[in-house]
Structure 1
Amino acid sequence: MRRSHMDMRAPHQAASVGMALLVALGGPLNWKSEAIREASQARNYGRIIELARTHQRMTQAQLGQVCGLSQSAISRLEKRGVSPYAMDVLLKVSQHLGIPVALLGLAEVPTLARIGTESVERRQFLGAAAAVAVSPALAVAASCVDEADHQASSLRLVTTSYRRLDGSTPSRELADAVRSHLRLIQGLISAAPTHAHRIRLAAIASEAASLAAWLAWDTGDNGSARSLYGAAIKAARSGANPLLAAYQTGSLAQFEAHAGNGAMALGLVKRARSFLEADSPRVADAWLSSVEALGHAAAGDQRSCDRALTRSRASLESNTHGEQPPWPWVFTFDEAKVASFRVTCGANLGLSKWVSDSTGPVLATGHAKQRALLMLDLAAGQLAEGQIEAAFALATEALKTGLTYRSGRIVERSRELRRRFNTSSPPKAVREFDERLHGVYL
């Protein structure tokens, strides 16, 4: 059947609404204006959105309606300042207001799509790339991205690539490269041409330091891990990024909880919450509540641990609008992640029921080393129930992963599990486990 002219235009209507409104109101907004340029360079994308919206005489409620957001969400977006933004939201708003995507920090969209960035769906990136290709404002947008912007984007892209490699590369092989990358960023900070650029590089340095800390933790170098997590927190605060500072402080709290330092972990969670702002995403509260549960488990407080996990689930359930986690919460924190925290807490508290109730969903993670650690938690629960063969069959699989990736953390956790079981005549599964563990010096 022959399509009508209006049917053929339909796919392009949403992207052209903003430009049509501009023409009707007497001409487009001057994207080269000083106010736009300064806001873009400072990464205050909410200010650009506010200027474009008011120029088109749209209310926050009207813009929210066409973008599938509430009026309050648009208000928070415009007031966010230099805090991190959700890229899928920026893409929606740019399409409806006709804002050149480069002005909203999305100039690197095609490159990110090619490496499979996980924080935003691939089709959203490809859609943005297509918008760039057909936009008559491309030349103007490109002029707004100076050398400093390219430098910062390239450095963040390298950090993202290293994070992806972590799931399939031994930490010992990756650690030196990440630390060299961190030193490069720190050197560039000292030579940054402007204060705004130094702030932006500081946030990128925080990301790199956090990754270096995670790798040190995985290799069993806990002293370096603490030092690097501290550097990540300091850099996040220098980068004027409260959400990132909360994330890095929570990461250190998680490290201390796993190290058995419950009181220290709980103090760090409290400090992390002090960085959060009133409009911080619910997923931040959900994640910190789960980290808090780890702290209570390390301190042996089952009741407080259970309450913290309940708050974590409640925060997720209250996210009725499907709010997506903005950077740095680029991972999906959902019920399965809360279940994995419960498994770990149960293993630490010796509560086999907490462990056995969550066997299925927690092993769905695609990160091999994290899955191995969860398998050891599950093995601890089965061992507590007297299921010796099943426990050490799981532990053997986890140990295989630890040896493949030369993970000192997995190997040490395997040793801890073995110390929990003493017998003069170990069954076959335990003997096989001992054979793999014997002679390992990671």
Structure 2
Amino acid sequence: MSWTSAALRTAAQAGDYGRVIQLARRDARLSQKEMGEACGVSQSAISRLEKKGVGGTYDAKTLARAASHLQIPPHLVGLADHAAALAANADIGGSVERRNFFGGVAAVAVAPVVASFPAASAEYTASDGGSAATLRMVTGGYRRLDGTTPSRQLVKPVLEHLQLTQALTQSVEEHDQRNRLAAVGSEVASLAGWLSWDMGDYGSARTWYGSAIKSARRAGNPLLAAYQLGSLAQFEAHAGNASEGMLLVRAARKALGERPPAIAEAWLTSIEALCHAAAGDGPETDVSLKEAARLAGRMVGESTPWPWVFTFNESKVAATRVACGAKLGRADWITSAQDSVAAVLSSGHDKQRALLILDVASGHLASGRIDGAFALATGALETGVKYRSGRIVERARSLRRSYSPRLLPRVVREFDDRLYEIFL
């Protein structure tokens, strides 16, 4: 669904959020009954939602579930303020308030879209309304919090959620339900790996990504297994382990079979580019990036299949080119891709944006624009401190290590002073 279509924009601007839901549902080729099952409500509830019209009183919980399932940007259904209010509560001190906050988020989050990959939609949709659907809702809530919440606050409830999911999986005797729960366990373990990576705990990250791969295979879903293999490959590429990352990319492609979804192939090709960059191979990196961009261009108008929570498009490929350019010292790549990463830079995921800004700062540094480089790096570093992100802070330190002149400009001395104060 194109979120820039005239009909959808008109409905959103008028406040007819039910019409926005209806347009997106029809584009996804879902009936009201199927939509209701996926969101845990009745067909009539979806019908009433779509008929609210301009000025209608919308139930935020149902609206959020429908919008999240259809991957509609929250502001198009008037949920930006609601999400901001929830996020504000994350800073409230005390365990009771924090538990209430996490519970509230879980209540309005829903599963990732299950659409265009038949095996996934047939077996792992949340439409059964059982334990797997409920657990996946909670996982989606935690995943969406990642962009604006310190990983150290999230990791404990996520690991408790993983423990519960694994316990329920072991207690179930029915084969299909056990597979569904194993698939949810894979998603939660992958999220735990991502949070550990953000905290700079590489050992735990590898452990949880490995657990995610095993659970995906236990669930018998090749798309999920490929996604988790690709996630670990991405981690290894960023960690500098090029050969290990490339082996994992090949394993992911093997798991996908002969006709993978376009998003899977585009994403894996971009990770392949990161692996080439980690190995210092500029020409092969460029070949993979161009192929990833070509594949991403084919996905215009396509829905995002589960387990991809977020879209992967040409803007994300451009962001990968920036990251590869930073690894290879190719300032020209970073400069040429900057305009194309505007969507990523304006996203609500503060930590991802900070990492991308540090890559852009590397391009400035390579071009001799020292003041601009460290001005950008300082802003990104403050984001790392705010969210206690070991990954961001270490990336900032890496940028600083790459610059060693005889005389330090003032902006660099100030950056050093700030770095010395940081103990995560």
Which TM-score bucket, shorter chain as reference?
0.7 to 0.9
Q: 1:318 pairs with 298, 302, 318, which one?
A: 298
Whole-angstrom distance in 2 between the partners of 1:389 and 1:146: 51
Aligned residue number for residue 227 of structure 1: 207
- Contact 2:37/2:127 (CA < 8 Å) preserved in 1? no
Aligned residue number for residue 71 of structure 2: 120
Q: CA deviation at 1:310?
A: 1.1
- Contact 2:39/2:69 (CA < 8 Å) preserved in 1? no
Provide the identity percentage.
50
Whole-angstrom distance in 1 between the partners of 2:225 and 2:26: 22
Specify whether residues 215 and 357 from structure 1 end up closer, same or farther in structure 2 by C-alpha distance, changes over 3 A only.
Answer: same
Superposed CA offset, 1:30-75 (max 9, x none): xxxxxxxxxxxxxxxxxxxxxxxxxxxxxxxxxxxxxx9xxxxxxx
Aligned residue number for residue 180 of structure 2: 200
1:327 aligns with 2:306: yes
Q: 1:213 pairs with 193, 203, 209, which one?
A: 193
- Contact 2:246/2:275 (CA < 8 Å) preserved in 1? yes
Q: 1:435 pairs with 396, 417, 420, which one?
A: 417
Give ranges in structure 1 of 5+ residues lacking alignment. 1-67, 69-86, 127-144
Superposed CA offset, 1:314-366 (max 9, x none): 1122336x221111122111111000000000110111100111223322332
SS at match of 2:197: helix
Aligned residue number for residue 319 of structure 2: 340
Whole-angstrom distance in 2 between the partners of 1:226 and 1:395: 28
**Counterpart code for 1:223:** G
TM-score (normalised: structure 2): 0.73
- Contact 1:108/1:153 (CA < 8 Å) preserved in 2? no
SS at match of 2:129: helix
Which is higher, the Rg of structure 1 or of structure 2? 1
Aligned residue number for residue 351 of structure 1: 330
- Contact 1:281/1:325 (CA < 8 Å) preserved in 2? no
- Contact 2:38/2:127 (CA < 8 Å) preserved in 1? no
Whole-angstrom distance in 1 between the partners of 2:26 and 2:255: 23
- Contact 2:226/2:253 (CA < 8 Å) preserved in 1? yes
Whole-angstrom distance in 2 between the partners of 1:203 and 1:337: 26
SS at match of 1:365: coil
Superposed CA offset, 1:242-287 (max 9, x none): 1111111001000000000011111100110111134432111111
Aligned residue number for residue 34 of structure 2: 101
Q: CA deviation at 1:101?
A: 2.3
Q: CA deviation at 1:106?
A: 4.9
Whole-angstrom distance in 2 between the partners of 1:149 and 1:428: 59
- Contact 2:270/2:289 (CA < 8 Å) preserved in 1? yes
- Contact 1:281/1:323 (CA < 8 Å) preserved in 2? no
Superposed CA offset, 1:193-232 (max 9, x none): 4111110000000110010000000000000000100101
Specify whether residues 234 and 334 from structure 1 end up closer, same or farther in structure 2 by C-alpha distance, changes over 3 A only.
Answer: same
Whole-angstrom distance in 2 between the partners of 1:341 and 1:249: 18
**Counterpart code for 1:113:** L
Whole-angstrom distance in 1 between the partners of 2:388 and 2:397: 14
Whole-angstrom distance in 2 between the partners of 1:240 and 1:103: 27
Whole-angstrom distance in 1 between the partners of 2:337 and 2:370: 19
**Counterpart code for 2:318:** A
Whole-angstrom distance in 2 between the partners of 1:90 and 1:204: 27
- Contact 1:119/1:331 (CA < 8 Å) preserved in 2? no
What value does the CA root-mean-square deviation take over the aligned residues?
2.8
Residue correspondences, number: 335
